[in-house]
Chains A and B, each alone.
Chain A
């Protein structure tokens, strides 16, 4: 193994390191995630030479398959107009199929034997439903695969990481019995997105924003994750999960942390993650004020793209009396010196008019008395918007005089768009995260305490909803921007949802 000593030759090299040679074991290899995300990402990394040619994939799953039949599935998943069979073939050759059951220790013994023959670093990827996590981790420990002589081992775990605080803690305990924390990579693909990473650069590499990034200048912040799609046939899963667990606990909490965190002293993984955890610690407990600060909704029938769509309760595998939320809006307060008194509004929903994820920073309005009362009414607050998807970029709106003899004011925007400013296509989030895990950089992965702290914010809401059957689930028409009651709720606080 290479020494961990500082290497003077590495200094100044801009292009990232290349992953060590390794064997990737994917549990849940026949699942949708492997087909749609992992294999295309791995193929792209392989093509670009970011992972060495001496790299193997062991596809572990329960169903019957051969190497050839599984490779055909992968080939179909990664084939595109730009890829020729010549370029796919070397990648496919690296894949072998391993039939096994997650609960069978004997199957893991066979896997160990295979890995011993390959004699390589090993990255385990748990791309299975969470119900399989326990068995897989237990068996990896039982057959002594968590630590190898002369090679590293790491494990990537897909979300959902727990379904509440207790289960997250238990899962952490289970994994930490077998692996050390520095071997565990909890993946949240939002952190692999270029615009999310740019948030740190935007905030801390520019002088003009940071001095006004606080309660003195910011009125409130809105973080929105809006999806046009419904539950896409996953009724059973969504009934158990709901959007609070599915999106807010992980993706939105990460965005909140990156917007609100203090500058880390370095970009070392733990320096960044420490600052994120501090934000979560500073979020005021919702305690008895949950009803005041959290609103939920559920889509009814409506229209999307000119097509009639079903209401949530009419979807397959969904109870006609379901109270599962497909929309949620929260007001969180961060109790620290920087953010005291600034509300953070988080809203996310399914079957909304368009797919967009963005963070909008609303600055305080200036007095503007010198322009007269009518003009003051017309004036808007400055809004800085960071669009995470789909058209990644940053825009700043400010007021400008409409040309003419009268003083009339209208907001105009200054825009930066990744797509038109940089020709490079940013790497897919999974590409970035898989490569980071192979390199051993956990910065963009969630640490155990971070995950548990996020659950501490969400858990009381789940408990309250579970206990209080009288807490309303506001209905909204599919294709609208959410329940009217939630619009009224924010208006009563003197604010409006951003029109997206």
Chain B
């Protein structure tokens, strides 16, 4: 794999970046602006580096700053770490070129313990650090110093195994300083908006059944997050968990949540069907939009953001802890604990 940029010694990254900036400023006639609004650190497997860089090139024009990508190569047993640096510029309408700096660190299997020590000195002071963690959560817990310096941790729950999700829920809920966000949570934002906007608040207490259609063999994590959100917002209490079906209660109302999986390439939420009293509402994805149907009659449609760059960019817009997300996680945690305690015998039959 060819890593873009200039290969430089890991202890000379700043020096070489400085030289690149000087050279760039003398070469270009246009106004060149080195813009720094955030530190953005991404950890990933080396095999994903190309995709990640492509995505980042779409995101940095909206969030210029210093980007550090730490790519881990499980097949490389050496302790060597390499560094590549380059600047990424985009031209604005007023001819100004807004530039970010990209640093790619390539770690072998046996050098990952140096991650924190290498990243911390590269962080620009007084700017927030976003850490997008695309490795397993077990590994994340080994980097507590890095976590302490992180303002916002972004995980990508579809990349995580179920055990990770549980670990993550418990870890995050126990460490208040970590402000966590989730790429998958960003992906269900439009679904939440559609529900919030098109279900009358008066009828929310009368929901009887929710059916979530998602792709893949198992319910997509998007679907789980969606259930966590809905149950937490509407104060539903878990009452039963069986393969493909959850039961909640609220006051005297029983609510059934069903998962229907359809084979598709991706792992996303495809539709949500809600039974409220005599009415049936259907929210379904259709060509970058969510269509809303009431009793099979078209009601409205709203845009569905599917562009990964846009979803990530939205995550970088906020620094605070999304309380609603945490409450959704708490509800999922409650569900997992409920499952462990009450239906332990069935646990191994269900994956989520």
B202 and chain A: residue at smallest CB distance? A3
A17 and chain B: residue at smallest CB distance? B197
Q: Which of B62, B96, B200, B318 has a CB less than 8 Å from the CB of A419?
A: B96
Query: Provided the pairs A5-B201, A13-B193 are in contact, do residues A421 and B300 lie with their beta carbons within 8 angstroms?
Result: no
Assess the A420–B96 pair: CB atoms within 8 A: yes
Number of interface residues of B (CB under 8 A): 39
Assess the B98–A13 pair: CB atoms within 8 A: no
What is the CB-to-nearest-CB distance from A194 to chain B, in angstroms, rounded to a whole number?
Answer: 14
Say yes or no for B33: interface residue by CB 8 A criterion. yes
Assess the B61–A423 pair: CB atoms within 8 A: yes
Say yes or no for A49: interface residue by CB 8 A criterion. yes
Number of interface residues of A (CB under 8 A): 27
Assess the A18–B234 pair: CB atoms within 8 A: no
B324 and chain A: residue at smallest CB distance? A12
Assess the A5–B323 pair: CB atoms within 8 A: no
Q: How many A-B residue pairs have CB under 8 A?
A: 80
Say yes or no for B289: interface residue by CB 8 A criterion. yes
Q: Which of A11, A420, A423 has a CB less than 8 Å from the CB of B63?
A: A423
A52 and chain B: residue at smallest CB distance? B300
Query: Provided the pairs A3-B200, A9-B195, A9-B233 are in contact, do residues A420 and B62 lie with their beta carbons within 8 angstroms?
Result: no
What is the CB-to-nearest-CB distance from B99 to chain A, in angstroms, rounded to a whole number?
Answer: 10
B190 and chain A: residue at smallest CB distance? A15
Assess the B202–A5 pair: CB atoms within 8 A: yes
A16 and chain B: residue at smallest CB distance? B193
Q: Which residues of B contact A8 (CB under 8 A)?
A: 201, 204, 233-234
CA distance A53 to B290 in the complex (A): 12
Main secondary structure of the interface of B (DSSP, over half): mixed
B35 and chain A: residue at smallest CB distance? A420
Say yes or no for A337: interface residue by CB 8 A criterion. no
CA distance A18 to B303 in the complex (A): 10
Query: Provided the pairs A5-B201, A419-B94 are in contact, do residues A11 and B300 lie with their beta carbons within 8 angstroms?
Result: no
Query: Provided the pairs A12-B323, A18-B193 are in contact, do residues A7 and B204 lie with their beta carbons within 8 angstroms?
Result: yes
Say yes or no for B162: interface residue by CB 8 A criterion. no
Assess the B302–A9 pair: CB atoms within 8 A: no
**Which chain B residues (82-109) contact chain A, with CB distance < 8 Å?**
92, 94, 96, 98
B-side interface residues toward A, CB under 8 Å?
33, 35, 37, 60-64, 92, 94, 96, 98, 189-190, 192-193, 195-197, 199-202, 204, 230, 233-234, 289, 300-303, 314, 317-318, 322-325
A-side interface residues toward B, CB under 8 Å?
2-3, 5-15, 17-18, 21, 48-49, 52-54, 419-424
Closest 10 CB pairs of A and B: A12-B324, A49-B303, A423-B62, A9-B196, A7-B201, A5-B201, A10-B196, A423-B61, A8-B233, A3-B202
* Given pairs A14-B314, A53-B301, A419-B96, 20 additional interface contacts (CB within 8 A): A5-B202, A8-B233, A9-B204, A11-B233, A12-B322, A13-B196, A15-B190, A18-B302, A21-B300, A49-B289, A49-B303, A419-B92, A420-B33, A420-B64, A421-B37, A422-B62, A423-B60, A423-B62, A423-B63, A424-B62
A-B residue pairs in contact (CB < 8 Å), sample of 23? A3-B201, A6-B201, A8-B201, A8-B234, A9-B192, A9-B201, A11-B324, A12-B323, A12-B325, A13-B189, A13-B193, A14-B314, A14-B318, A15-B190, A49-B289, A52-B300, A52-B301, A419-B92, A420-B35, A420-B98, A421-B37, A422-B37, A423-B64
